[in-house]
Amino acid sequence: MIDKSFGKYIQFFRNQQGLSLQKASEALDITPAYLSDIENGNRAAPTKKLKKMIEALRISDINLFYDLAGRTRNNSFPDINEYLGESSIARMAIRAVRDTEGGEEIWRDLLQALMKTEDNDNGIVKLEMPDGTVAYTGNVMYTGLKRPKRGLEN
């Protein structure tokens, strides 16, 4: 399994798309040197380019993508920070779960209550959202050897 770093994750999907560093950087509107620095872990995830990266590199596991991006920014997760800043009830819920035993189990139960979930034998969880969108998340092998389809489907 490849090291689960944001840079290596980006590099994996760039290579999957058959894009050179030059072509990928053009698609992302950044310099090749900047993209190389990101891939080599020398720069944090560029918050303003994340959505463009998802589209251009056809990132399939969006949850992992944002988690890895957030880790490069001292656990500041760009896809949820704004929401948390606006929602006092969400912050209150997070603190309440944090202060109880069994936090992961509480979150899992909450997710199951919010959406239909299906767990398969290799740890990939299929989440069916109320709007009919399907997302896959869970254990991630992105070496290309056993990589199941993940991401959003319509």
Nearest to 6 by CA among 62, 67, 68: 68
pLDDT band at 145 (very low <50, low <70, confident <90, very high): very low
Residue 32: inside a domain: yes
Residue 127: inside a domain: yes
Shared-domain flag, residues 103 and 129: no
Q: Bigger pLDDT: 73 or 103?
A: 73
Shared-domain flag, residues 74 and 85: no
82: tokens are 């704004």
Residue 148 has pLDDT above 50, yes or no: no
Residue 117 has pLDDT above 80, yes or no: no
Domain that holds residue 59: 6-79+115-153
Residue 146 has pLDDT above 50, yes or no: no
Shared-domain flag, residues 50 and 122: yes
Is the separation of the CB atoms in 97 and 104 below 8 Å? Answer: no
Residue 1: inside a domain: no
Q: pLDDT, tens digit, for every residue of 82-96?
A: 889 998 888 888 888
What's the first-to-final CA gap in the chain, in angstroms?
29
Q: pLDDT, tens digit, for every residue of 33-45?
A: 999 999 999 999 9
